[in-house]
Amino acid sequence: IIKEGKITEYGNYDVNGNPGYKIEAIGMPEEKRIDYTYDPRFAKKIMTITEPSVYADRKKVTTYTYDDMGNLTRLLVEGFQPDGTPVSRQVTMQYNGPFNQLTRIDGPRTDVQDLTSLEYYPNDPAEGANRARLRRVIAGGIIVRDNIQYTPTGKVASEQRATGQSLLYTYYPGNDRLATLTIADGVTSRTTRWSYLPTGEVETITQADGTPESTTVTLTYDDARRLIGITDHIGNNIKYQHDTAGNRIEETVWNSSGTLAHARRQVYDELNRLTQTIGAAGQTTSYGYDANGNRINTTDANNNPTRSAFDALNRLITVTDALNGTAQYAYDNRDNLTAVTDPNGNTTSYAYDDLGNLLSRTSPTPAPPPSPMTRPAMS
């Protein structure tokens, strides 16, 4: 596969059409090879994934083990820290329910109890609608769900939670859509009610149903069953418009007196990528993309440009602002963010093991560890 001059190769296919390897960014510094093996008892179940480690010239290996029914019984990850120290993580599963349902998950931790047990009703006609269904869930020694009861069609009718709350569910006859959920703690009780259109979409959601504090949100849809309006109990509402591809191209927010509080229009290209965001006063932010779909240009309403660059693996490597200040990003073989250099040349470095654990952080000033909220977004 060749895309924007970057080659990805698949090869060594088995008789079921599964690739034995994938090589990304062939011939480039970022070149990466991943090898696969498959369980011969099944057509598509991966048995091992071997890929580059954070420790140079070594491999991270993920092994999947299955029982004869194809249930995953063990997940083992083996790799290294950047200094070569071996690391591993294992999760095991057991399937001993009446119909081989999952009954036990033994997590990877050894310092605390991280067992999850699932208990089932006997496969006995005397159990009625509960027959062979999940009865109780215990996690870390705590009963998190208990005394789960079922309707004749297999929906959960009631259950107890670890918080001491009781949950009671009701459903519409004929279609089994959720009608009400009542949560009670022995002192108070609160019910949420749903209603539906004949086509199945949620029409109203009423909280604190049957009380003076009751509030209802109403949802409306177009002929293509796309959400076009949300109205609350006092008349505040949001309206949406879509193009023929289903992209939301306009959003307006109105208060209960009918005054426009917020408006935004959005423009998409032929690949359904957002290219413009236009505010109520006509202020426009524009976006541009490379051939791989990565957002490489953003120009705000004041005509300030921001440019982004990506490597052969589509990882963000630089962001240049309107003043030509450039932030740089670096990664390890596992695609973990390992260095961030700000426009002033200050670098914060991070080290991870093959399990994804953050091992160290080095910074000229205090800096938080990278997280899904602070790492650069990947397109």
CA distances 223 to 84, 137, 203, 242, Å, are 60, 42, 14, 12
User: Which percentage of the chain shows pLDDT scores above 70?
Assistant: 95
What pLDDT band is residue 111 in, cutting at 50, 70 and 90?
Answer: confident
Three-state DSSP class for 58?
coil
Structural domains in the chain, CATH included, are 1-92 (2.40.128), 95-162 (no CATH), 308-379 (no CATH)
Check: pTM over 0.75? Answer yes or no. yes
pLDDT score recorded for residue 128: 98
pLDDT score recorded for residue 159: 98
- CB of 76 within 8 A of CB of 63? yes
Mean pLDDT confidence for 132-155: 97
The pLDDT tens digits for 69-85 are 999 999 999 999 999 99
Mean pLDDT confidence for 136-145: 96
Residue 102 has phi, psi (to 5 degrees) of -60, 130
Mean pLDDT confidence for 49-77: 98
pLDDT score recorded for residue 72: 99
pLDDT score recorded for residue 364: 87
Cα 211–214–219 angle (5° rounding)?
Answer: 150
- CB of 316 within 8 A of CB of 290? no
Nearest partner of 52 among 32, 36, 67, judged by Cα:
32
pLDDT score recorded for residue 368: 55
Residue 285 burial (CB count, 10 A): 17
Mean pLDDT of all residues in the chain? 94
- Whole-angstrom Cα distance, residue 256 to residue 239? 13
Mean pLDDT confidence for 41-52: 98
pLDDT score recorded for residue 1: 72
pLDDT score recorded for residue 142: 94
pLDDT score recorded for residue 110: 84
- CB of 47 within 8 A of CB of 64? yes
- Whole-angstrom Cα distance, residue 116 to residue 140? 6
- CB of 113 within 8 A of CB of 141? yes
What pLDDT band is residue 222 in, cutting at 50, 70 and 90?
Answer: very high
